[in-house]
Structure 1
Amino acid sequence: MSTLSASMLGETAPSAERGVAMGELTGRTVLITGAGRGIGRAEALYLAARGANVVVNDPGVEIDGRGGDEGVASAVVAEIRARGGRAVADTGSVADWADARRMVELAVAEFGDLHAVVNNATIEVNKGLERLTEAEFDDVVAVKLKGSFAVSRWAAAYWREQVDAGKRAGRAIVNTASGSGLLNPLPTQTNYAAANAGVAAMTTVHALELRRLGVRVNCVSPSMVRTRLTTAVPGMDRTAPEGHPDPKDPAVVAPLVAYLVSEGCPVTGQVLSVRGGSIAVNHGWTQGARIDKDGELWTLPELAENLAALPLEEPFDRLATALGGALGSQGRAEFEAMVNAELDRT
């Protein structure tokens, strides 16, 4: 069980003391995969406390993907409802194409719409390359990479239908990667590192594709967060002194995710590393400028102000620069229009 504290999540302190206004996400429906434990659970509780309708997806499997326990997702839903929030459980597998579609349909059926997806589900099997089996490689990639794709795909299909029907609203996808695969690929994690790197790359592609539908796509990359997957990491068992926020608590990731799925957030096409109170923008496999906060969690207004000061590369500008003169001398607007026309044609 996570070590989340009420003070980290902000359920007990008055909103004025927290610097967070309750209801910032009211009316927003968010599907969070892997939300039964760890980071996903923290995100579900945090978003629900701020008014979001939450679909808590988690089949309750072991770390390596075996087994299953429907009570894991249901327990988080019960926590949310006990605090006055709105949530529904889903126990499908993100790696199953039909299950991914059903969880999107559940969000719409239960709450009338779907505004955001947070792809957090993952499993882990750590072995050296010469001992890693085909199934162990495939299973990790299926949940982490294919699962992020599958849920995003069905959400995007729904959002495309809404746009075609004249219903355009601010939508968002937040993918979850890891330092393993981006900044510090760890030995024994061939499958996990490859899948996370793929998720980060997919983020940029989807940000470029889905902008025309009013969808923003970003990726968060947590580091040194205490979850079932990191308990064996040296030093992870050390906690903060009593009365001090714990920088390893899964709750440190939740405010950034809440901001990225909020309706007014302009950020898209970014991979953002999170370690304690530090948030850094990644440029490929290199970590760039960062913002820092000691003590309490970031608030959404603080994130809106401070992230705007970071040098965030605009996805279409980055693509145009990378392609150089290969596509002619079109201006930025003409280039984006050409890409969008091709996407709609295919």
Structure 2
Amino acid sequence: MAVDFEAIRPYHDHEVAPVLQRLLRDEAFLQTLARYRFPRLTDYCAPLLRRLIAWRLGREVRGIDSVAALQERIEPYVDRVVERATAGISYSGLEQLDDQQAYLYLANHRDIVMDPAFVNYAVYHAGLPTPRIAIGDNLLQKPFVSDLMRLNKSFIVHRSITNRREKLSAFQTLSAYINHSIAEGHSIWIAQAEGRAKDGDDATDAAILKMFHMSRKDQPFAEVIGSLNLVPVSISYEYDPCDVAKARELETRARTGSYHKQAGEDDHSIALGITGHKGRVHLAFNRLNGADYADAKALAQACDQLILGHYKLFPVHYLAWERWAERDAALPVPSAASLFSASELAAAEQELGKRLAQCSAAEQPFLLMQYATPVRNQYRLQQNR
């Protein structure tokens, strides 16, 4: 029986031009761009700025009638944003991938937009097709955001559903869509767990892996996983632009037991994550070995070994580890001074100090935890081999 993907799929090529025209008339979209581009002028001449931006955008998107053409047009702008906000991007493992093959990229999740953007950037410049991107419906509160994401190959994960039966049905549809996409030759990007790892602990949720199998329950788990060409991806940021905000949220949760987002908080996190300085960034693409994983738990452990083991640790991670009161002294972690030059350490000390200064005394341990946890995870793996 055919599954209806209309509620979650990205836009098709024939829908691109009409959606672009709709965006050019969307006042909320144009106002958002005006505030970003002209923050000081928007309060005084917003209607004029909206018309100017619509005219400029109209010129830019004229003649675009496919998703590929749109991505080709915006790629230089994406490259500029990516490169301005980093001190260099490096990759490993891309040489293992075939441009004629579709892959299921399963990545750790630290930033709402930039995680899939960096994967897109890496595979695009390696001559591989860009993936379809899983995005939670909690981030699509405004119609223009949904339009923008679906134009850029995003498909919707319904996370806001609370009814158990409806949630199960949504997962079945999501599973079928992912399997259908891979079978049709379209790669997929999805996070290893729901929500960002705000404490720095990148752990694969076995429920995500079980979901991949849900629509093909009549087949063995290992067979289904084998057909999806799973590629765990480890995305390492030297600095997280949202680290202070995450520390505040973690401290509030620890103190009160809960945390309630303010209006517009996700929008602010998205903007800060895109524009904030990240230092150096490394992406490690990892092919799973040929083992038959009997269940989701075994597969999750294998994914964790690759994602945690290939996380690139920068000076700030070791410095945070040395300051972290909850570090495990039994782990054989070398000192930062034995691994990095004095100039690198001085720069990292200064940057870490600036970030800690933005936190209260109660919040500072939670900021250190974000940078120290990847050190703990990696050296635990080494110790247990």
Q: TM-score range by the shorter chain?
A: 0.3 to 0.5
- Whose helix fraction is larger, Structure 1's or Structure 2's? 2
Alignment TM-score, normalising by the size of structure 1: 0.39
- Whose strand fraction is larger, Structure 1's or Structure 2's? 1
Task: Please tell me whether Structure 1 or Structure 2 has the larger radius of gyration of its CA atoms.
Answer: 2
Alignment TM-score, normalising by the size of structure 2: 0.36
Q: Which has the higher contact order (CA 8 A, sep 6+)?
A: 2
